[in-house]
A and B are shown apart, each in its own frame.
Chain A
């Protein structure tokens, strides 16, 4: 297991070693983080379109008083699925997609730490999404809101399968999210290239790490709540039944103990993406790197101390609400730190206005609006007026569109050329940005007003004469404009695949490692493992840095799928990791889980038990010992 230091790396051998097998087997068995990352992104965007279509239905229904495009049940299913889709099937997975694709390329590794777990994470995401969406086929989509408050969602008041799809679907997707998070945490601490110490990683690493740790601690609350809900519904248990000593507020506490950290889980990686793009377009390294990294971590921790602000109107004691009010206001400070770090970066930089940068500017503005309206809802007495009315809808959409969708679209314009090798169009990009930015503000700013005019959330229609018609008309128009922007992006994307200019390795003249490899990158990512000496390896020469990152010379590691295992803090290499080959087991395991969940859904117990047995067998198959890799490799013919 000698470490070859070769100026001319055996790229042919590396490619053969790391390539996914051709044909259907390869499609189903691949563990390549780049393929998985792209699949995540595409799947999440498909769900984004589904959620967008649902939003378009809602906005058409509410465009005026007494419109009856949908009946009450249809509207309730659609608004519930809009929330479930956007929060669970778009906002989080799209960020997992970027992190999956980018992390190894950014840290000089050849794959994520646990490639098969990575594949499992994707397959369970896809199948749980399909599981939830099959509810539409039998006309029983979840209809209890994404928050599904009991006892409305209990068996008595919701006898159909709607809420079973919800409870089981969410348990299913927490499996995907949790194994994905574990993979990110291990990768963060073990897979960074030699020399990429903790203070040199791109901010997206901090964002996704913070989110992943938060996932590991927050999701058990959701899983537990959903298991209880399923048991209450299916076996007549009484976790939430006030008449039998349970309590409906137990659900609310558990749900929001998960729910508020979840908000940070789906914005922190996006904030990280933004923090890594802004320096490129400001032509200087990020100002206050340590501040931004620490505020990311701080936000994730504080995020666990604010859940009660969703429950100020539930009659909790004043002292309790006061504590959570203070915490909810103070969590604005780390956000303020990040915002001023970006502004400082731009201030002392020399901004170049390309499409991704436009989205990033829009992101900062929407972030500020969503932030200050968050402080308003953190004030307990004012929240008694605002909660559950359209002001909150405005606030949460500024937060989620501002701090998730806008950085994501910036990232699409920025990193898609790395993935496809083709640039998107600047001309289209500007149109997409302005349509989405103006559309978002036109749609969501008036919602603050409709909330203040007393319009409650989640109503499928409203009467004339309450003063709500005009603001809703403006909102609906804004939503259509926003949708037009998204559609134009799709046109641009498909256009770029055939007619987009070649991207080259580094079209933005960006500083980080992923831009040192070809677009799209080779299967092995790096022909030789780089040795990192700064936060901005590709700008070192121009910044007169004393030490230089080694790219293109160094250890090759070509005895099978090899990459370095490095120490957690300083990233000193201390082992050569043998990465797993392609495997069908992740897909088989995810498929068997699907069988189990359908069994539980329909109460077909033999099917559920069969599924569970198959899940255990699949795990056994996954873990079954295989011949040592070195022997396999010896059988391969040596490349010239």
Chain B
């Protein structure tokens, strides 16, 4: 998808946690390939070292058992034990290294897993400083953030491969993790634990930007969107607040206070809709409203049949929610 910086490959790391894990991963991969190579070579030699003898003797000949114990003890016990103990020690070292962030986290972000989208809440001491958004997490480059992971329904798992390992999102408990991006960019994230029908469409983006840009973004998210400036967008707002939309969605500065679906206060500033399913373009947005069940069957957004004029006005207004 063009909106991220390429494939979410776990070895193309962009953060310290993922980086240290990748080092461990490479070491284990190399050990594994070496073991595979050596064992395969021994097996090949074992298979073909007796070629000459085989040609001479009939198949009925049976060979008396002889000294094989040394090969079993060294190959099967001593050498593997040494390799495994070293691997275990290195694993423990990495595990304790990534347990805590390199510095104190600069923000605490509460992430609520829903079927099938991510609610993102930037916590603050006073409720009016709190920012609620969805499916897109902005973080400052080079600074760790703390994530609190809770679920609204079933078990999910939060995973941004380039930044950190995954942590499950489990109802009835709060898991925490930390995350840091060292390079500006947009990183692909996803739900990794099977969570039902649309598990495949539960993605998110992590947008890493300079600390200044991040604070600017946060400030902007705290402001309510501008009121409608023309008749079309005014119609759009009216459609939104009077129809079913407002029952599920919140838009700051309007009477829409629904809590079921994503907060749309700054919908237009987001890069995707429907949890990474589609790029956020006016056409996709209109298509989504008119046919949410066709695009992502089973999700909670009903398919809305609006008169074409209303749909157009609604999309026009939603596009102003920067």
Flag if B9 contacts A453 (CB, 8 Å). Answer: yes
Q: How far is the CA of A348 from the CA of B49 in the complex (A)?
A: 9
The 9 closest A-B pairs by CB, nearest first: A384-B165, A242-B172, A467-B7, A454-B8, A287-B68, A344-B68, A459-B200, A372-B32, A340-B76
| CB of A249 closer than 8 Å to a CB of B | yes
CA–CA, A347 and B32, complex, Å: 23
Kindly identify, within residues 161 to 198 of chain B, every residue whose CB is under 8 Å from any CB belonging to chain A: 161-162, 164-168, 170-173, 175-176, 188, 190-198
Contacts of B131 in A (CB 8 A): none
Any A CB within 8 A of the CB of B69: yes
A452 located at the interface, meaning its Cβ lies under 8 Å from any Cβ of chain B in the complex: yes
- CB pair B200–A313 under 8 Å, yes or no, is no
The stretch of B17-25, B102-110, B224-232 in contact with A is: B17-25
Known: A313-B167, A365-B43. A151 touches B155 (CB 8 A): yes
Chain B hits for A314, CB < 8 A: 168, 170, 175
List residues of chain A with CB within 8 A of the CB of B212.
Answer: none
Interface magnitude class on chain B: 35 or more
In the complex, A322 Cα to B95 Cα: how many Å? 9
Provide the residues of chain A in CB contact with B69, threshold 8 Å: 287-288, 291, 344
Q: Which of B34-42, B121-129, B262-270, B310-318 contacts A (4 or more CB under 8 A)?
A: B34-42
Q: Does A364 make an interface contact (CB < 8 A)? A: yes
Point out the residue from A349, A388, A463, A511 that lies within 8 Å of B63, measured CB to CB: A349
- Closest A residue to B2 by beta carbon equals A465
CB distance from A157 to the nearest CB of B (A): 6
Q: Contact string, A502-533, partner B, CB cutoff 8 A, digits 1/0?
A: 00000001010000000000000000000000
Over the window 301-331 of chain A, the binary record of Cβ atoms lying under 8 Å from chain B Cβ atoms (1 yes, 0 no) is 0000000000001110010011001100110
The answer to whether the Cβ of A337 comes within 8 Å of any Cβ in the partner chain is yes
* B61 and A385 within 8 A (CB): no
Are B20 and A351 within 8 A (Cβ)?
no
Our pick among A249, A330, A347, A456 for the contact of B68 (Cβ within 8 Å) is A347
Instruction: List chain B residues, Cβ under 8 A from A459.
Output: 199-200
Known contacts A372-B35, A388-B157; A152/B94 CB under 8 A: no
Nearest chain A CB to B210's CB is how many angstroms away?
A: 25
A42 CB to nearest chain B CB (Å):
31
Q: Report Cα–Cα, A326/B11, bound state, in Å.
A: 24
- CA–CA, A341 to B70, complex, Å? 10
The contact of B76 among A76, A341, A372, by CB within 8 Å, is: A341
CB–CB B25/A456 < 8 A: no
10 interchain pairs (CB within 8 A)? A149-B193, A284-B65, A322-B95, A340-B75, A343-B39, A346-B43, A352-B54, A381-B94, A381-B95, A458-B199
A368 touches B72 (CB 8 A): no
B159 touches A350 (CB 8 A): no
B84 touches A330 (CB 8 A): yes
Q: A341-B76, A343-B71, A453-B7 provided; 10 other pairs, C-beta below 8 A?
A: A242-B172, A246-B172, A248-B155, A313-B157, A347-B46, A379-B87, A381-B21, A388-B157, A454-B10, A460-B199
Q: Across the interface, do A157 and B64 meet the contact criterion of CB distance under 8 Å?
A: no
Contact across chains for A151 and B193 when beta carbons are under 8 A apart: no
B60 partner, pick from A347, A349, A509, beta carbons under 8 A: A509
In this complex, what residue of A is CB-closest to B167?
A: A313
Return A435 CB to nearest CB of chain B, in Å.
21
Counting chain B CB atoms within 10 Å of each CB, the highest count among A340, A352, A381, A511 belongs to A381
Question: Chain A nearest CB: distance from B135 CB in Å?
Answer: 14
- Tell me whether A13 is interfacial, beta carbon within 8 Å: no
> Cβ of A599 < 8 Å from any Cβ of B?
no
* Contact between chains at A337 and B1 (CB < 8 Å): no
Measured in the bound complex, the distance between the Cα atoms of B72 and A287 in whole Å is 9
Given contacts A337-B77, A388-B192, contact A466 B24 (CB under 8 A): no
Q: Give B265-306 as 1s and 0s: 1 = Cβ < 8 Å from A's Cβ atoms.
A: 000000000001000000000000000000001100000000
Q: How far is the CA of A315 from the CA of B155 in the complex (A)?
A: 12
Contact B1 A464 (CB under 8 A): yes
Determine if A553 is an interface residue (Cβ-Cβ < 8 Å).
Answer: no
Instruction: Give the CA-CA distance A454 to B12 in the complex, in Å.
Output: 10
Q: Could you tell me the distance between the alpha carbons of A343 and B94 in the complex, rounded to whole angstroms?
A: 35
Q: How far is the CA of A337 from the CA of B39 in the complex (A)?
A: 12
Q: Annotate A444-468 by CB proximity to B: 1 below 8 A, 0 otherwise.
A: 0000000011101111111111111
Is B194's CB under 8 angstroms from A145's CB?
A: yes
- Interface pair B168/A333, CB less than 8 Å apart: no
Closest Cβ of chain A to B223, distance in Å, is 32
Q: How far is the CA of A580 from the CA of B157 in the complex (A)?
A: 54
CB-nearest residue of chain A relative to B190? A456
CB-contact partner of A381 in B20, B62, B157, under 8 A: B20
Q: Is A539 an interface residue (CB 8 A)?
A: yes
Given A361-B43, A542-B61, CB of A466 within 8 Å of CB of B91: no
Q: Once the chains bind, are B91 and A379 in contact (CB under 8 Å)?
A: yes
User: Is the Cβ of B297 less than 8 Å from the Cβ of A71?
Assistant: yes
With beta carbons under 8 angstroms apart, the residue of A375, A385, A387, A467 that contacts B87 is A375
Contact of B200 among A72, A329, A453, A543 (CB under 8 A): A72
Return A441 CB to nearest CB of chain B, in Å.
12
Q: What's the Cα separation between A71 and B42 when bound, in Å?
A: 48
Known: A149-B155, A384-B167. A350 touches B94 (CB 8 A): no
Q: How far is the CB of A446 from chain B (nearest CB, A)?
A: 14
The reply to whether the CB of A382 lies closer than 8 angstroms to some CB of chain B is: yes
A426–chain B nearest beta-carbon distance, Å: 14
List chain B residues, Cβ under 8 A from A349. 50, 63
Question: For B161, what are the chain A residues with a Cβ–Cβ distance below 8 Å?
Answer: 385, 454
Are B40 and A368 in contact, CB atoms less than 8 angstroms apart? yes
Give, as a whole number of angstroms, the nearest-CB distance from B3 to chain A.
Answer: 9
A329–B115 Cα distance when bound, in Å, is 35
Q: Is the CB of A466 within 8 A of B8?
A: yes
- B244 on interface, CB distance cutoff 8 Å: no
Q: Does A332 contact B (CB under 8 A)?
A: yes
A100 smallest CB distance to B (angstroms):
29
Min CB distance B15 to A, Å, is 12
- Residue-wise interface mask of B (80-119) relative to A, using a CB-CB cutoff of 8 A (1 in contact, 0 not): 1100100110011011101100000000000000010000
Among residues of B, the one whose C-beta sits closest to the C-beta of A465 is B1
Is A381 a contact partner of B297 (Cβ separation < 8 A)? no
Report the bound CA distance from A45 to B314 in whole Å.
57
Nearest CB of B to A80, in Å: 9
Residue of B nearest to A354 (CB): B59
Assuming the contacts A364-B43, A375-B84, A452-B10, asked whether A340 and B194 have C-beta atoms less than 8 A apart, the reply is no
Quick one: which of A107-123 are within 8 Å of B by CB? none
Q: Which residues of the partner chain B approach A543 to less than 8 Å between Cβ atoms?
A: 62, 64
- Is B319 an interface position by the 8 A CB rule? no
| Chain B, Cβ-Cβ closest to A157 | B154
Within 8 A of A (CB), among B215-266: none
In the bound complex, what is the Cα–Cα distance between A322 and B6 (angstroms)? 34
Q: Contacts of A200 on B, CB cut-off 8 Å?
A: none
Nearest chain B residue, comparing its CB with the CB of A372: B32
B212 to chain A, nearest CB (A): 30
How far apart are B201's CB and chain A's nearest CB, in angstroms? 8
Give the Cβ gap from B31 to chain A, nearest Cβ, in Å. 8
Chain A residues positioned under 8 Å from B71 (CB to CB): 287, 340, 343-344, 347
The residue of chain A having its C-beta at the shortest distance from the C-beta of B193 within the complex is A388
B130 within 8 A of A: no
Minimal Cβ-Cβ distance residue in B for A148:
B194
| A376 / chain B contacts, CB cutoff of 8 Å | 25, 28-29, 32
Most chain A CB neighbours (cut-off 10 Å) among B28, B66, B167, B176: B28
Given contacts A385-B18, A459-B200, contact A350 B6 (CB under 8 A): no
Q: Which partner residue on chain A sits nearest B18 by CB separation?
A: A385
Give the docked Cα–Cα distance between A26 and B147 (Å).
Answer: 66
Partner of B99, one of A145, A318, A542: A318
* A347 adjacent to B49 (CB under 8 Å): yes
Given contacts A73-B197, A330-B84, contact A313 B168 (CB under 8 A): yes
Q: Do B188 and A288 touch (CB < 8 A)? A: no
Q: Report A42-95 residues with CB < 8 Å from chain B CB.
A: 71-73, 76
Q: Which residue of B lies closest to A369 (CB)?
A: B36
CB neighbours (8 Å) of A76 from chain B are: 196-197
- Collect the chain B residues with CB atoms within 8 Å of residue A557's CB: none
